[in-house]
Amino acid sequence: MRKDNDQRIYLTDDNTSVVYLKNVIDDPDIQVGEHTYYHDERNDPRDFVKNNILYHYPQFHRDTIIIGKYCSLAMGTTFLCPIANHNFASMANYPFPIANDHWDLPESFGGKVSTLKGPTIVGNDVWFGYESVIMPGVHIGDGAIIGTRSVVTKDVPPYTVVGGDPARFIRKRFDDDTIAKLMALKWWDLPDAEIRDFLPELINGHIDAALEAKWLGDTARKVIERLGK
């Protein structure tokens, strides 16, 4: 078993279309967790920030995008930054301060370019379908699934499937009790070696067996017992 992916660029040695995002992003505003990958057969996936983080202009606004561990991003998954939202309070849609070489506005107008929103936060083990679009300030919970070509305009709860334009609730992946146990377990925070011990249960969806496995730490075990396991 490969020991880690601290420096590894490509998911596999024979395929340069899938990269570990953590190891190709050099931008303090974009944070990505371990094992999260991006696939792109049209463009060089190493150019994810340039091609898939749109309207990212730190000189106007310091964006924050946080993507958790073990996320799967299909080709064309795109994040819009807050500067994409023009100022709704303005009489004109046109963002005059951006074209300030022509208009010579005071610097104080720079903050009136857009309707700014908070950070975009993605949990762990989230699957993004082909060409999905994530709007600024959205929070996506652990274990969620974003359907192909969805436009996510509002928060997505953990372990929820959404799809469409705008993205709407489709279904929960598991019942509420199981979701609570998985959220308490937080398997994505375990060391690789411990995850390896229960991969058969994880891959095959044997949730009860996974929750009863010997690797389960004392803290998570107590939480699960309190939830009624």
Q: Which residues are catalytic?
A: 86
Q: Could you tell me if 23 and 9 are in contact, meaning their C-beta atoms sit under 8 angstroms apart?
A: yes
Q: Cβ-count burial of 176 within 10 angstroms (0-12 exposed, 13-18 middle, 19+ buried)?
A: exposed
Q: What one-letter code names the amino acid at 132?
A: S
Q: Which residue has the tokens 């389960």?
A: 216
Rg over alpha carbons for the chain, rounded to the nearest Å, is 20
3-state class (DSSP) for residue 2 = coil
In degrees, rounded to 5, the angle at the alpha carbon of residue 86 between the alpha carbons of residues 84 and 90 is 170
Q: What is the DSSP string of 140-192?
A: E-TT-EE-TT-EE-S-B-TTEEEETTTTEEEEESS-HHHHHHHHHH-GGGS-H
DSSP 112: G
Alpha helices in 5-77 (DSSP H): 48-52
In degrees, rounded to 5, the angle at the alpha carbon of residue 82 between the alpha carbons of residues 172 and 64 is 75
